[in-house]
Amino acid sequence: MNKQSRILLAGIGLLALSFRGDKTEKVNLHMVDRIRYEGFNNSKVMETMFQLTDVNGPRLTGSAGMKSAERWTRKQLEDWGLANAHIEPWGGFGKGWEVNKSYVAMTAPYYQQLIAVPRAWTPGTNGPVKAKAVLVRIDKAEDLAQYAGKLRDKIVVYATIGGETKPNFTADASRLSEEDLRKLSMDPHVEDGPTNLSKRPASPVKASPNLRKMIDSFFYAEGVAAVLSGGRGTMGTVFTSNGAPRAWNAPPVSPELEMGNEHIARLIRLLDAGKEVMVEVDTRTTFQTADSIESNVIAEIPGTDPELKDEIVMLGGHLDSWHASTGATDNGTGVGVMMEAVRILKAVGVKPRRTIRIALWSGEEQGLLGSRGYAKNHFGDRLTMKLKPEQSKVSAYFNLDNGGGKIRGVFLQGNDELRSVFGAWLEPFADLGATTLTIRNTGSTDHIAFDELGIPGFQFIQDGLEYGTRTHHTNMDSYDRVSANDLMQASVIVASFVYHAAMRNDMLPRKPLPKPNPAPNSWTR
């Protein structure tokens, strides 16, 4: 008997001996046992992860890699027996973009290959460029004048990094402690509990968006050969910036690469000391030649109850990623878990009363574009709160997008009526570490597209692991940073939550409808 089987049987024994859920909320422990067995003993989640990451590659919205991932996930869901598997457009996006080649090195005072990633939606050099490096510091618009006429055909080292890089005496990876979980479960007015991004490296002091636009236009007008800029990240890790897709009428910019602290800091020190630094760059990026129409991947397990089958329980995560690596923890893990959850439900032969619908979103990284586009097409307009009939048919949406850690509980998103319901659903998984409910909200991912239209939308609490320190939007976000056991645990819990939402007599209770907000705050990531 393998270790996973022993854990599974021990957990089943615990269920039989100690389950004391809310007696008003029915929990099918027999189905929970079957879901656990399938999820831990016949898991396909790491096979899915391999296909999404190593085989498919990066999945930046608007890229060929994203289109490839949409085709593969649709076909895989169909092969697992889901119905109505399709790729559903949600709207225009701007210019599609992807990296075809990237190389940068310092060649004087000696040779050293440099770690750098092309900044999203910037052009390539379209051939090798070797030029003298020039250090540029710009804190305000008035600083531009001192560089006028001095940058043509130069490689600009744009000094944006923060303070001194120091040794790290704390672990990159961590799990939520009992004290962390206690704080999360407390009243929302007390001290905030942890988030999965709380251990992020300090960000450099960045120019305001308006000043950065001025700087970009200045560099382009001055004819620089390329720009090297710094950001967060040490020990070989490069955090990409939150670049937005470029509209067709956006001003042109220069080729730019983002670098880790140690490598750009070396260039800055050499240039500050008056040393001549030569750099060669060879990057090639491709913009699509037509408007990029983007899509989500949708599939269903049809409901079987004549009175409830038109109601829907949804689950999903965003399929798009950044381009510096293969998007394993952001958000291949969320996609893999949600796909595994519906595979488990099909494998154990569920006949849900309500329809179960999985959605894999695009454009999340640029502002929840895919989920918001889907919500607008199906449920209503979040700006006017003019709702469509389908809005009233969605019982809940469950989302996963906080890295590769196991599930520790659920954010109730301000809906305290669900405390007893979710408490009952969680109790069979206490032995797997999932115990916590918090009334708090969590933002910044696709459940918000549902919540802002009055549909119960939820994000699971997850262990952060290395998400904030090493993988979120970085060149390290690869298959190697994923924990198979954590993903199996998460898949089992999601499958059980979705099953019970689809089987209960009533839809989940809702909060009062939000008021129309014609000018909402912009969402950034």
The reported pLDDT for the residue numbered 442 is 87
Q: Tell me the longest C-alpha to C-alpha distance in the chain.
A: 78
3-93+292-503 adopts what CATH topology?
A: Aminopeptidase (3.40.630)
| CATH class held by domain 97-166+200-287 | alpha beta
Place of tokens 């607008």: 376
Has residue 490 got a pLDDT over 70? Answer: yes
For 500, the token pair is: 């019970």
**Among 93, 108, 70, 67, CA closest to 298:** 70
Q: Which residue has the higher pLDDT, 10 or 46?
A: 46
Q: Which pLDDT band, with edges at 50, 70 and 90, does 185 fall under?
A: confident
**Among 282, 284, 286, CA closest to 129:** 282
Has residue 462 got a pLDDT over 80? Answer: yes
pTM for this one? 0.91
* Average pLDDT over every residue of 125-141: 96
Output the CA–CA distances (angstroms, integers) from residue 97 to 125, 244, 287, 351, 472, in the order listed: 15, 11, 5, 42, 20
The reported pLDDT for the residue numbered 55 is 98
* Domain range annotation of the chain: 3-93+292-503, 97-166+200-287
The reported pLDDT for the residue numbered 3 is 41
The reported pLDDT for the residue numbered 525 is 38
Q: Is the CB of residue 269 less than 8 Å from the CB of residue 289?
A: no
The reported pLDDT for the residue numbered 438 is 96
**pLDDT tens-place string over residues 233-259:** 889 899 998 666 666 667 899 999 999
| Of 209-218, 344-353, 476-485, minimum mean pLDDT range | 209-218
The reported pLDDT for the residue numbered 166 is 78
**pLDDT tens-place string over residues 192-215:** 444 554 556 655 556 788 899 999
Q: Which pLDDT band, with edges at 50, 70 and 90, does 92 fall under?
A: confident
Has residue 482 got a pLDDT over 70? Answer: yes
The reported pLDDT for the residue numbered 7 is 40
The reported pLDDT for the residue numbered 6 is 38
Has residue 137 got a pLDDT over 50? Answer: yes
Has residue 190 got a pLDDT over 90? Answer: no
* Average pLDDT over every residue of 334-341: 98
- Average model confidence (pLDDT) for the chain? 90
**Among 426, 424, 442, 425, CA closest to 434:** 426
Fold agreement between 3-93+292-503 and 97-166+200-287: no
- Helices (H), ranges, 360-416: 369-378
Q: Which pLDDT band, with edges at 50, 70 and 90, does 443 fall under?
A: confident
Query: How big is the chain by its Cα radius of gyration, in Å?
Result: 24
The reported pLDDT for the residue numbered 200 is 60
- How many Cα atoms are found within 13 Å in the side-chain-facing hemisphere of 152? 4
Q: Is the CB of residue 347 less than 8 Å from the CB of residue 79?
A: no
The reported pLDDT for the residue numbered 193 is 43
Could you write out the DSSP letters of every residue in 177-219? -HHHHHHHHS-TTSS----TTTTPPPPP-PPPHHHHHHHHHHH
Has residue 168 got a pLDDT over 70? Answer: yes
Has residue 67 got a pLDDT over 90? Answer: yes
* Average pLDDT over every residue of 499-521: 89
* Average pLDDT over every residue of 285-289: 86
- How many Cα atoms are found within 13 Å in the side-chain-facing hemisphere of 149? 2
Q: Is the CB of residue 117 less than 8 Å from the CB of residue 110?
A: no
* Average pLDDT over every residue of 269-287: 97
Q: What percent of the chain stands above pLDDT 70? A: 88
Distance CA 403, CA 393 (A): 30
Has residue 14 got a pLDDT over 50? Answer: no
Q: Which residue has the higher pLDDT, 242 or 191?
A: 242
Has residue 58 got a pLDDT over 70? Answer: yes
Q: Which pLDDT band, with edges at 50, 70 and 90, does 4 fall under?
A: very low
Q: What percent of the chain stands above pLDDT 90? A: 77
| Of 199-213, 316-330, 407-421, 493-507, minimum mean pLDDT range | 199-213
